[in-house]
């Protein structure tokens, strides 16, 4: 069951475990350091639960300075470090290894400063995504990137993965909504990247840090763009006979110059699973479903929804459900938002995250069901339709090692397909360990080397999250 | 003036390999409209032969173009399908008194944005893919044609704004937005800078989706000071938001409603910093600063009687300075407010564009430069 390899634990580090732990204990208050195996177990995996590794120790620092002291110590001692937010990574990005310590930022969770005219909120990076929006909601603001895991996941994890969400079509992903970050580098030095002004000059180190999956440093603070809340928002639900019709409808809406805040697609298996769980009133006699949400005043919403309904009518829509109240809105979203949870109740699943050019949608959906059926498995699809970010959920039984292997192979085939049609391996979940060995499908040797040369500027010894993102073979190291 | 005009990425890659073997340095120019002609290099490479739109999918809102494609070609192709580059790139020609055609590659390489940046994001936010030739003469692609892509390190962001210091862009891919049905500008007359900044800041915090917010101070000309808010969208929505905003700020008087070519000309003037075209302004500084700190900078500027222009709701301030101004002192003032100044036009020789006061950050930047361009052949002296 260990198809994906971790770097071989460094025996020299393991042999010095006690000394290392003692050194850490001398460095930080006692409640910052966790070494008890029972307590460490909570950190041995993330949401990619098929893999787990026990770390040497877990540290939960309370300040940037503590993080810096730990990093300097680890650098000096040659100890690997795996950064952790809430551990909701679906790519195994936060899974530790035996010769590493985990630095978790969950206690760095304070709101530091709301600058209203500047529309920025400065926070410690361990704050949860939802708590950011909650902090500015009384002033009529929100933080736009909204991963479905937003109740738990941290801004640090969002920055490390460049996370997205349902509302990205209009508002962009994490990288478009972060202005600054405080980062502790591998040697324990602290840098402030970006700031509270827009577009700082020079090389965009902040843009590089976003999406770097814990390989370049530990993010401890961030300056986030917050936006005024719309007066209101309302979805409409469409059912279509086929995915082709639904796809064509999405293209036509965009073609008409409308950019809804969200356009979510579900195929028949996903509709059935979500309806059985959430009783959201989804139509069960359709082949595909769209949930499209628009924002504004009541009149603006009515106006835009009417245009969208006209377009859907021109594309063979079979079922139209317009929300007339907050309850109905919640009802429509409830099914979609519980998609992962609902799926988890009927089977184990691997959640894929490839992105494709939307024009390829009908072809990719068809090929995907063929691929998965070829392995004797089932797949359900929910995805962000406006931007082509697919989330096929491959259903399998985790107690059957053979099924897990098949599911992983089906997943790899699907991601390869995404790259072949002009897309990419991951739209918002990150590479982690899950997609690491597929990187050569998307990048040439030179391209991987170029990325690793940049990585080496920050971490020449491969001490930060070393088992992730880049295949273990052919790693580039400075001479 | 130009030594080499490659017609393809492989041809450029081979040329770069040769140059690096013989220890030559290369300056890169696109349209040359920013007046940044590379100095002290042995060869000048022009991207003008790398021209043409490589693909355009209106239904996916993406376009790819080779780096030397004139910006106007791209914008025309998009306008034909009712779409646009949402970040509204500035045209440097009026300010720099240059000619030629700005290229799409330079827009990416210099991260050039205009008034809509405040609501829609910068060029770097819309750039989703690049192909480049690095200093080892390798062709490197990063990102791609899909707008959500987190596969590997984001070399796209690194190259957006790198001004060609890491390599030569050969193709760029941008995501797009539809051109809205209507564009309306509200204009309040006669506000001072403090009131204007307060109005814009408050407006940007309303749900009325301000598309752009700028203030043109009183230059002693007929029009006097003008505070501008632009709204875009479907006509009924614009009308509604216009009314709401007019009511909200009624204590500043009824705003004038400006539309059509008159509005476009006004925003072009803001985007292109046209109040500073006169050579009397020996130095033109472009300052990026937190909106909340803008009033302090403006106060300082008014103490010196300096001409200003305010965009991005206060986040971008242009300053026109006299010949004998102590630029270093201005930079200090601005840095103390957490902002940053770029000397866009000057009678002085500007310093390195990327100088960082933080040694650690400067070290990271030069490390990255080295990671792309170990022999230091591209645009030397920029760091
Ligand atoms: C049910 C469910 C739904 C989800 N929905 C979405 C979705 O809609 N959109 C989406 O994009 N993702 C989604 N995800 C994936 C996941 O929630 C995101 O990747 C999230 O950003 C991870 O945040 P975290 O705090 O849990 O980070 P972790 O899982 O703890 O870590 C993620 C990565 O960040 C690194 N990291 C953590 N902290 C730091 C730090 N301080 N400095 C540097 N690196 C650090 C880790 O090393 C790791 O590589 C979902 C996950 C689940 C389980």
Chain A: nearest CA to B248, how far in angstroms? 15
Does residue A377 sit in the same domain as residue A440? no
Residue B350's pLDDT is: 64
Per-residue pLDDT tens for A238-281? 999 998 899 899 989 988 889 899 999 999 999 999 999 999 99
Residue B352's pLDDT is: 65
Residue A1's pLDDT is: 40
Final residue in a domain of this structure, among A192, A212, A228: A228
pLDDT level of residue B100 (50, 70, 90 thresholds):
confident
Is pLDDT at B39 greater than 80 in this prediction?
Answer: no
Q: How many domains does chain B have?
A: 3
Task: Give the structural domain span for A62.
Answer: 11-104
Is pLDDT at B294 greater than 90 in this prediction?
Answer: yes
- Using a 6 Å cutoff on CB, does residue A161 contact ligand 1? yes
Q: How many domains does chain A have?
A: 5
What is the CATH classification number for the domain harbouring B165?
A: 3.30.465.10
Does residue B126 sit in the same domain as residue B146? yes
Residue A203 at interface with chain B, using a CB cutoff of 8 Å: yes
Residue A201's pLDDT is: 84
Q: What is the mean pLDDT of residues A55-78?
A: 98
User: Which residue from A243, A217, A223 is spatially nearest to A160, judged by alpha carbons?
Assistant: A217
Residue B298's pLDDT is: 97
Nearest Cβ partner of B153 from A175, A388, A454? A454
Does residue B83 sit in the same domain as residue B97? yes
Is B77 within a domain?
yes
Residue B349's pLDDT is: 66
Is pLDDT at A209 greater than 60 in this prediction?
Answer: yes
Residue numbers in B near A201 (CB within 8 A): 161, 288, 340, 342, 353-354
Q: What is the mean pLDDT of residues A5-12?
A: 92
Does residue B172 sit in the same domain as residue B188? no
Does residue B258 sit in the same domain as residue B308? no
Residue B37's pLDDT is: 63
Residue A192's pLDDT is: 97
Chain B: nearest CA to A147, how far in angstroms? 13
Does residue B172 sit in the same domain as residue B204? no
Concatenating the DSSP letter of every residue in B226-278 gives EEEEEEEESHHHHHHHHHHHHHHTGGG-PPEEE-HHHHHHHHHHHHTTGGG-S
- Using a 6 Å cutoff on CB, does residue A85 contact ligand 1? yes
Is pLDDT at B106 greater than 50 in this prediction?
Answer: yes
What is the CATH classification number for the domain harbouring A56?
A: 3.30.43.10
Does residue B218 sit in the same domain as residue B261? yes
Does residue A222 sit in the same domain as residue A261? no
Give distance in angstroms: CA of A88 to centre of ligand 1: 5
Does residue B107 sit in the same domain as residue B232? no
Q: What is the mean pLDDT of residues B110-138?
A: 97
Is pLDDT at A2 greater than 60 in this prediction?
Answer: no
Is B366 within a domain?
no
Does residue B46 sit in the same domain as residue B152? yes
Instruction: Please give, one letter per residue, the 3-state secondary structure of chain A.
Output: CCCCCCCCCCHHHHHCHHHHHHHHHHHCCHHHEECCHHHHHHHCCCCCCCCCCCCCEEECCCCHHHHHHHHHHHHHHCCEEEEECCCCCCCCCCCCCCCEEEEECCCCCCEEEEECCCCEEEEECCCEHHHHHHHHHHHCEECCCCCCCCCCCEHHHHHHHCCCCCCHHHHCCHHHCEEEEEEECCCCCEEEEECCCCCCCCCCHHHHHCCCCCCCCEEEEEEEECEECCCCEEEEEEEECCHHHHHHHHHHHHHCCCCCCEEEEEEHHHHHHHHHHHCCCCCCCCCEEEEEEEECCHHHHHHHHHHHHHHHHCCCEEEEEECCCHHHHHHHHHHHHCHHHHHHHHCEEEECCCECCHHHHHHHHHHHHHHHHHCCCEEEEEEECCCCEEEEEEEECCCCHHHHHHHHHHHHHHHHHHHHCCCECCCCCCCCCCCHHHHHHHCCHHHHHHHHHHHHHHCCCCCECCCCCCCCCCCCCCC
- pLDDT above 70 covers what percent of chain A? 100
Is pLDDT at B353 greater than 70 in this prediction?
Answer: no
Final residue in a domain of this structure, among A340, A362, A386: A340
Least confident of A193-207, A208-222, B66-80, B350-364: B350-364
Final residue in a domain of this structure, among A195, A212, A228: A228
Residue A340's pLDDT is: 87
Does residue B170 sit in the same domain as residue B219? no
Final residue in a domain of this structure, among B156, B178, B200: B178
DSSP one-letter code for B180:
P
- Identify which has the larger pLDDT, A212 or A4: A212
Final residue in a domain of this structure, among B178, B203, B237: B178
Is B142 within a domain?
yes
Is pLDDT at B35 greater than 70 in this prediction?
Answer: no
Is A179 within a domain?
yes
Is A6 within a domain?
no
Does residue B51 sit in the same domain as residue B74? yes
Per-residue pLDDT tens for A172-189? 999 999 999 999 999 999
The number of C-beta contacts closer than 8 angstroms across A and B is 270
Complex-level ipTM: 0.96
Is B105 within a domain?
yes
Nearest Cβ partner of A359 from B60, B207, B236? B60
Residue B54 at interface with chain A, using a CB cutoff of 8 Å: no
Q: What is the mean pLDDT of residues A134-159?
A: 96
Does residue A357 sit in the same domain as residue A309? no
Q: What is the position in ligand 1's atom list of the atom closest to the CA of A88?
A: 26
What is the CATH classification number for the domain harbouring A351?
A: 3.30.70.2740
Is B164 within a domain?
yes
Is B122 within a domain?
yes
Q: What is the position in ligand 1's atom list of the atom closest to the CA of A160?
A: 34
Per-residue pLDDT tens for B225-275? 999 999 999 999 999 999 999 999 999 999 999 999 999 999 999 999 999
- Is the CB of B369 less than 8 angstroms away from the CB of A203? yes
Does residue B299 sit in the same domain as residue B214? no
Q: What is the mean pLDDT of residues B5-26?
A: 95
What is the CATH classification number for the domain harbouring B238?
A: 3.30.70.2190
Does residue B264 sit in the same domain as residue B279? no
Q: In whole angstroms, what is the distance from residue A467 CA to residue B144 CA? A: 25
Q: What is the position in ligand 1's atom list of the atom closest to the CA of A174?
A: 11
Is B255 within a domain?
yes
Chain A: nearest CA to B93, how far in angstroms? 21
- Residue of chain A nearest B359, judged by CA positions: A191
Does residue A312 sit in the same domain as residue A327? yes
- pLDDT above 70 covers what percent of chain B? 96
Q: What is the mean pLDDT of residues A195-215?
A: 95
Is A3 within a domain?
no
Average predicted confidence (pLDDT) for chain A = 95
Is pLDDT at B14 greater than 90 in this prediction?
Answer: yes
Q: In what order do the strands lie in the sheet with A57-59?
A: A33-34, A57-59, A100-104, A80-84
Final residue in a domain of this structure, among B270, B304, B337: B270
Is A167 within a domain?
yes
Is A92 within a domain?
yes
Does residue A210 sit in the same domain as residue A284? no
Does residue A252 sit in the same domain as residue A335? yes
Give distance in angstroms: CA of A161 to centre of ligand 1: 6
Task: Give the structural domain span for B302.
Answer: 274-346
Is pLDDT at B6 greater than 80 in this prediction?
Answer: yes
Is A353 within a domain?
yes
Residue B360 at interface with chain A, using a CB cutoff of 8 Å: yes
Is A426 within a domain?
no
Residue A307's pLDDT is: 96
- Is the CB of A257 less than 8 angstroms away from the CB of B82? yes
Is pLDDT at B299 greater than 70 in this prediction?
Answer: yes
Is pLDDT at A282 greater than 90 in this prediction?
Answer: yes
Q: For ligand 1, atom 13, which residue shows the shortest CA distance?
A: A147
- Is the CB of B290 less than 8 angstroms away from the CB of A115? yes
pLDDT level of residue A167 (50, 70, 90 thresholds):
confident
Of A94, A162, A217, the one to substitute when testing ligand 1's pocket (max ligand atoms within 8 A of C-beta) is A94
Q: For ligand 1, atom 49, which residue shows the shortest CA distance?
A: A93
């Amino acid at each position: 069951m260990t198809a994906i390899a971790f770097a071989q634990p460094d025996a020299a580090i393991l042999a010095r475990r006690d000394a290392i732990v003692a050194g850490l204990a001398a460095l930080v208050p006692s409640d910052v350091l966790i070494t008890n195996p029972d307590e460490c177990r909570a950190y041995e995996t993330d949401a990619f639960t098929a893999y787990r590794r026990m770390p040497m120790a877990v540290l939960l620092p309370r300040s940037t300075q503590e993080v810096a002291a730990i990093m300097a110590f680890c650098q000096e001692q040659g100890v690997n470090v795996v950064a952790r937010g809430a551990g909701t990574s679906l790519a195994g990005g936060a899974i530790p290894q035996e010769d590493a310590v985990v630095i978790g930022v969950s206690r760095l969770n304070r709101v530091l400063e709301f600058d209203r005219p500047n529309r920025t909120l400065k926070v410690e990076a361990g704050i949860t995504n939802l708590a950011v929006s909650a902090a500015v909601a009384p002033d009529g603001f929100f933080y736009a990137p909204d991963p479905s895991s937003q109740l738990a996941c941290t801004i640090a994890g969002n920055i490390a993965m460049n996370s997205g969400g349902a509302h990205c079509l209009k508002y962009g992903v994490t990288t478009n909504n972060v202005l600054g970050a405080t980062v502790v580098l591998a040697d324990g030095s602290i840098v402030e990247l970006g700031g509270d002004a827009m577009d700082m000059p020079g090389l965009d180190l902040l843009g590089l840090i976003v999406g770097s999956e814990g390989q370049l440093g530990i993010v401890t603070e961030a300056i986030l763009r917050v936006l005024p809340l719309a007066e209101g928002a309302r979805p409409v639900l469409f059912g279509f006979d086929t995915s082709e019709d639904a796809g064509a409808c999405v293209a036509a809406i965009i073609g008409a110059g409308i950019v809804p805040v969200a356009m979510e697609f579900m195929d028949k298996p996903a509709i059935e699973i979500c309806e059985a769980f959430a009783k959201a009133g989804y139509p069960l006699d359709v082949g595909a479903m769209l949930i499209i949400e628009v924002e504004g005043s009541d009149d603006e919403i009515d106006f835009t929804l009417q245009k969208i309904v006209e377009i859907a009518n021109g594309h063979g829509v079979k079922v139209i459900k317009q929300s007339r109240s907050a309850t109905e809105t919640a009802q429509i979203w409830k099914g979609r938002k519980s998609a992962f949870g609902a799926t988890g109740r009927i089977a184990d699943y691997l959640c894929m995250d490839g992105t494709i050019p939307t024009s390829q949608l009908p072809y990719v959906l068809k090929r995907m069901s063929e691929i998965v059926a070829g392995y004797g498995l089932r797949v359900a699809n929910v995805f962000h339709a406006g931007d082509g970010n697919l989330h096929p959920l491959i259903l399998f039984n985790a107690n059957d090692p053979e099924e897990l292997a098949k599911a992983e192979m089906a997943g790899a085939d699907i991601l390869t397909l995404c790259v072949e049609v002009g897309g990419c391996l991951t739209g918002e979940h990150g590479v982690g360990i899950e997609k690491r060995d597929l990187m050569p499908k998307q990048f040439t040797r030179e391209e991987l080397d170029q990325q690793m040369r940049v990585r080496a500027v920050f971490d020449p010894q491969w001490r930060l999250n070393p088992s992730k993102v880049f295949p273990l073979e052919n790693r580039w190291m400075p001479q | 003036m130009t030594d080499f005009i490659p017609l393809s990425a492989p041809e450029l890659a081979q040329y770069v390999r040769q140059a690096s073997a013989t220890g030559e340095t290369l300056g890169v120019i696109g349209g040359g409209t920013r007046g940044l002609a590379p100095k002290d290099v042995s060869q000048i490479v022009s991207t003008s032969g790398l021209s043409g739109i490589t693909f355009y999918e209106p239904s996916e809102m993406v376009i790819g173009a080779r780096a030397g494609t004139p910006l106007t070609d791209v914008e025309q192709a998009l306008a034909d399908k009712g779409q646009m580059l949402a970040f509204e790139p500035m045209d440097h020609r009026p300010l720099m008194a240059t000619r030629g055609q700005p290229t799409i590659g330079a827009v990416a390489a210099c991260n050039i944005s205009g008034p809509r940046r405040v609501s829609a994001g910068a060029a770097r936010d819309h750039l989703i893919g690049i192909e480049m030739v690095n200093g080892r003469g390798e062709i490197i692609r990063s990102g791609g044609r899909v707008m959500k892509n987190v596969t590997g390190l984001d070399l796209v962001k690194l190259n957006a704004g790198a001004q060609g210091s890491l390599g030569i862009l050969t193709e760029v891919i941008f995501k797009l937005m539809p051109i809205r049905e209507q564009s309306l500008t509200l204009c309040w007359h006669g506000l001072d800078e403090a009131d204007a900044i307060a109005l814009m800041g408050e407006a940007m915090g309303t749900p009325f989706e301000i598309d752009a917010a700028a203030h043109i101070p009183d230059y002693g000309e007929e029009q006097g000071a003008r505070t501008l808010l632009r709204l875009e969208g479907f006509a009924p929505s614009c009308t509604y938001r216009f009314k709401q905003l007019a009511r909200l700020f009624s204590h500043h008087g009824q705003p004038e409603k400006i539309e059509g070519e008159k509005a476009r000309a006004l925003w072009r003037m803001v985007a292109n910093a046209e109040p500073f075209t006169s050579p009397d302004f020996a130095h033109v500084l472009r300052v990026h600063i937190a909106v909340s700190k803008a009033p302090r900078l403006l106060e300082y500027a008014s103490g010196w009687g300096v001409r200003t222009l305010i965009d991005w709701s206060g986040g971008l301030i242009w300053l026109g300075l006299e010949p004998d101004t102590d630029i270093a002192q201005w930079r200090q003032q601005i840095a103390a407010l957490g902002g940053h100044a770029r000397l866009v036009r000057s009678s002085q020789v500007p310093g390195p564009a990327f100088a960082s006061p933080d040694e650690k950050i400067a070290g990271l930047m030069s490390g990255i430069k080295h990671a792309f361009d170990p022999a230091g052949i591209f645009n030397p002296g920029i760091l």
